[in-house]
Chains A and B, each alone.
Chain A
Amino acid sequence: MNRLAGLILAGIPLLVASIAAINFFILPEPPATKPAQKIVLENSSTFQSELQRLKAEIDQKKATPIRNNGISVAGLPEKTAQIDASTASMSVSETEIADNAPDSTSSPLEAERENTEKQNPAITQISNRFLQEKTDEYWSGKTSDLITSVIDSANQHSDALKSAINNVECHSTVCRAEVVHEDQQSAEEFAMTFPLQVSEALPRITYQLDQRNDGTVGVVMYLSTNTP
Chain B
Amino acid sequence: MKNLTLSSIALISAFTAATTTQAADNRQNYNGSYCDAYYGSQVGNINHQYNGAKNTTASGMYISCPVIVDEASNTTGTNNVWVYWTGAGTLSCSLFSMSGSGSSLQSQSASGAAGWINIPNLTTDDYWGSYSMYCYLPGSATLNTISISEKP
Give A residues with C-beta under 8 Å from B. Answer: 7, 11, 14-15, 18-19, 22-23, 26-28, 102-105, 108, 111-112, 115, 120-122, 125, 191-193, 195-196, 198-200, 203-207, 209, 226
Contact A103 B128 (CB under 8 A): yes
Residues of B within 8 A of A11 (CB): 1, 5
Q: A112-B101, A195-B109 are in contact. Are A22 and B124 (CB under 8 A)?
A: no
B99 touches A115 (CB 8 A): yes
Bound-state Cα–Cα, A204 to B97, Å: 11
User: Are B9 and A19 closer than 8 Å at their CB atoms?
Assistant: yes
Q: Is the CB of B106 within 8 A of A207?
A: yes
Closest 4 CB pairs of A and B: A199-B109, A122-B124, A103-B127, A195-B94
With contact pairs A205-B106, A207-B105 given, residues A120 and B96 touching in the complex (Cβ less than 8 Å): no
Kindly report which residue of chain A lies nearest to residue B125, judged by CB atoms: A122
Given A120-B124, A199-B94, CB of A103 within 8 Å of CB of B109: no
The distance from the CB of B125 to the nearest CB of chain A, in whole angstroms, is 9
Chain B residues with CB below 8 A from A191, complex form: 96, 104, 107
Q: Is B22 an interface residue (CB 8 A)?
A: no
A203 touches B120 (CB 8 A): yes
Q: Is B5 within 8 A of A207, CB to CB?
A: no
The complex places the Cα of A209 from the Cα of B102 at a distance, in Å, of 11
- Once the chains bind, are A111 and B5 in contact (CB under 8 Å)? no
Chain B residues with CB below 8 A from A203, complex form: 108-110, 120
Partner of A23, one of B16, B93, B136: B16
CB distance from A124 to the nearest CB of B (A): 10
A22-B9, A192-B62 provided; 7 other pairs, C-beta below 8 A? A102-B127, A103-B75, A112-B100, A191-B104, A195-B109, A198-B109, A204-B107
Minimum CB distance partner of A110 in chain B: B128
Distance A195 CA – B106 CA, assembled complex (angstroms): 10
Q: Are A22 and B73 in contact (CB under 8 A)?
A: no
Are A15 and B5 in contact, with the CB atoms below 8 A? yes
Partner of B134, one of A15, A22, A192, A200: A192
B59 to chain A, nearest CB (A): 15
Contact of B5 among A14, A120, A196, A200 (CB under 8 A): A14
Cβ of B75 and Cβ of A102 under 8 Å apart?
yes
Query: Could you give 5 example pairs across A and B, Cβ below 8 Å?
Result: A26-B17, A27-B16, A105-B127, A199-B110, A206-B124
- Residues of B contacting A125 in the complex (Cβ-Cβ under 8 angstroms): 123
Q: What distance in Å separates the Cβ of B9 from its nearest Cβ neighbour in chain A?
A: 5
A209 nearest CB neighbor, chain B only: B103
Enumerate chain B residues within 8 angstroms of A199, measured Cβ to Cβ: 92, 94, 109-111
**Complex CA distance for A178 and B108, rounded to whole angstroms:** 19
Q: List B contacts of A102 (CB < 8 A).
A: 73, 75, 127
Closest residue of chain A to B109 (Cβ to Cβ) is: A199
Q: Are A19 and B107 neighbours in the complex by a CB distance under 8 Å? A: no
Q: Is the CB of B20 within 8 A of A27?
A: yes
Q: Count chain A CB atoms within 10 A of each CB in B13, B62, B109, B136 and give the residue with the most.
A: B109
Expressed in whole angstroms, the Cα–Cα distance for A18 and B73 within the complex equals: 41
How far is B20's CA from A103's CA once the two chains are assembled, in angstroms?
Answer: 32
Q: A27-B17, A120-B124 are in contact. Are A108 and B100 (CB under 8 A)?
A: yes
